[in-house]
A = this chain, B = another copy of it.
Amino acid sequence: MPFALHYHSPVTPDEFRRHGHQLIDWIADYRARVSDLPVMARTRPGEIKAQLPHAPPESAEPFDSVLTDLDRIVMPGLSHWAHPRFFAYFPCNGDLASVLGDYVSTGLGVLGLAWQSSPALTEVEEVATGWLRQMLGLSNAWSGVIQDTASTSSLVALICARERTSGYTLARGGFQQVERPLVVYVSAHSHSSIEKAALLAGFGRDHVRVVAHDDRWAMSPEALDAAIAADRAAGREPCAVVATTGTTATTAVDPLGPIGATARREGLWLHVDAAMAGSAMILPECRWMWDGIEQADSIVVNPHKWLGAAFDCSVYFVREPEHLVRVMSSNPSYLQTAADSVVNNYRDWGIPLGRRFRALKLWFLIREHGVAGLRARLRRDLENAAWLAETIRATPGWRVLNPVVLQTLCVRHEPPGLEGDALDAHTRAWADRINQSGEAYLTPAVLDGRWMVRVSVGSLTTEREHVEQVWAAMQRAAAPSR
């Protein structure tokens, strides 16, 4: 018998215990002091990379040197999503309860390839997504599965739509051999991931129909009907419509009632992108926004956004899991187990085979806050956004461009005499001044051809005082004296 090599890991459970305690304190300190840091990183491109060795270390390095580099090199290169004056993009709230749930997942290191490869991973996911379903007011006709992001969930939806309409052509000639071209209907205010999903699924830009919207940026059901009729007349086959509850730019609400009726009548797949605003559906007073949701075929809601689950946690709800499984299933011998006929094998509910125990972060979040606690936080944010909208509307020279039904405001400062490109330059300049100052972080975006600034309220730690502070910063940054 040859000599048996032994391997001595530098990170034993005891070392992990010691360094883990250090790290917990490091993260706790970070979260406690994050409000003192500049919100947006003021790093120059390449600046971080230049401070790190080009080649990997041959020998093990002490843990403290990694921690030192985190403080010295990484930290100045972060934009702080947990900052109370983070009003950019959308709230991506890694609530600390959820963070702990994710720590359990990573520490256990178990993997869901099949139900049997860790039964609890699958069954807690069924329970946690079932809880979320009830919180959102969805009927029990829906089944949920956790994906990484809404981009992926929407790609899965459009592939499923493609296969349903084409009679499962993936089992034969594929999408490259459909008889008549299939068409997807979106709005100009659908998220960029929707067009991307349609292109990746193979529809082609010529078959992504951008349906007109009304003056509140909501998809027009009449325009949808007309577009479908025109495509049918031209020999094309309408396949899917993607409606949004709370669009990215303005939180517009596409009318699901009439859109759903059209989808049912015309045999289209209705996918509802509620990635951001879906969290608000835990509030009964917000549910008017998805009146008609039960007519959908699939829905995506991202608890890793406003609700507070640690990224990544995108829940994809479907009415017919059998259809999803038919499109996504793979079943080689090495993945077969005796339990397969009576359990969910979530590998067949999405693209990846391997799956983390992601349900834990959702499970911890809901249990540590309770539904009442999560509702209270979201109501605080809606209240803060409404206050800010009211305050801005009452201030001469300032405009709120969108109906603030959720937590995002589209704002423009319009000093007398400033128009067109000059106004655009002014808008981008004051937003940039705020972002560069480190005081707050906002996202400029284009609406109807003109730049405006999105103020997205809803970071975990954002209280009224922080909203007052960003408003003060906006007024200073846009002041004529600059």
Which residue of B2, B31, B172 contacts A13 across the interface (Cβ within 8 Å)? B31
The number of times this chain is found in the oligomer is 2
Chain B residues whose C-beta falls within 8 Å of the C-beta of A63 in the assembled complex: 100, 368
A393 at the interface (CB under 8 A from B): no
Which residue of B1, B103, B196, B367 contacts A23 across the interface (Cβ within 8 Å)? B103
Give the CA-CA distance A201 to B80 in the complex, in Å.
36
Contact B92–A130 (Cβ < 8 Å): no
- In the complex, besides A45-B339, A47-B123, 19 extra interface pairs with C-beta distance below 8 angstroms are A4-B463, A9-B96, A13-B32, A17-B25, A27-B108, A41-B118, A48-B119, A55-B134, A59-B372, A63-B368, A75-B120, A159-B200, A169-B204, A171-B204, A172-B204, A176-B204, A176-B207, A192-B335, A334-B444
Interface string of A97-119 (1 = CB under 8 A from B): 10110111011111101011111
**Minimum CB–CB distance for A56 against chain B, Å:** 4
Give the CA-CA distance A16 to B23 in the complex, in Å.
12
Give the CA-CA distance A42 to B338 in the complex, in Å.
12
Contact B131–A207 (Cβ < 8 Å): no
**Minimum CB–CB distance for A61 against chain B, Å:** 5
A353 at the interface (CB under 8 A from B): yes
Query: Which residues of chain A in 154-206 are interfacial with respect to chain B, using CB atoms and an 8 Å cutoff?
Result: 155, 159, 162, 169-178, 181-182, 191-193, 195-196, 199-206
Interface string of A276-298 (1 = CB under 8 A from B): 00000000000000000000000
Contact A16–B9 (Cβ < 8 Å): no
A346 at the interface (CB under 8 A from B): no
Which residue of B52, B54, B107, B338 contacts A99 across the interface (Cβ within 8 Å)? B107
Q: By DSSP majority rule, is chain A's interface helix, strand, loop, or mixed?
A: helix
A73 at the interface (CB under 8 A from B): yes
Contact residues on A (Cβ < 8 Å of other chain), bracket: 35 or more
Contact A10–B332 (Cβ < 8 Å): no
Give the CA-CA distance A162 to B203 in the complex, in Å.
13
Interface string of A72-107 (1 = CB under 8 A from B): 011111111110000011001111110110111011
Contact A370–B330 (Cβ < 8 Å): no
> Given the interface contacts A13-B31, A368-B60, does A78 sit within 8 Å of B376 by beta carbon?
no
Looking at A218-226, A378-386, A398-406, the stretch in contact with chain B turns out to be A378-386
Chain B residue at minimal CB-CB distance from A102: B106
Give the CA-CA distance A174 to B26 in the complex, in Å.
49
**Minimum CB–CB distance for A407 against chain B, Å:** 13
Contact A27–B16 (Cβ < 8 Å): yes
Which has the most chain B C-beta neighbours within 10 Å: A65, A127, A310? A127
Chain B residues whose C-beta falls within 8 Å of the C-beta of A102 in the assembled complex: 106
Sampled A-B contacts (7; CB under 8 Å)? A2-B387, A56-B370, A75-B120, A81-B110, A170-B200, A173-B204, A304-B354
Query: Which residues of chain A in 445-469 are interfacial with respect to chain B, using CB atoms and an 8 Å cutoff?
Result: 445-446, 451, 454, 460, 463-464
Give the CA-CA distance A370 to B174 in the complex, in Å.
46
> Given the interface contacts A151-B353, A200-B351, A353-B192, does A73 sit within 8 Å of B171 by beta carbon?
no
Chain B residue at minimal CB-CB distance from A74: B120
A475 at the interface (CB under 8 A from B): no
Which residue of B81, B104, B191 contacts A109 across the interface (Cβ within 8 Å)? B81
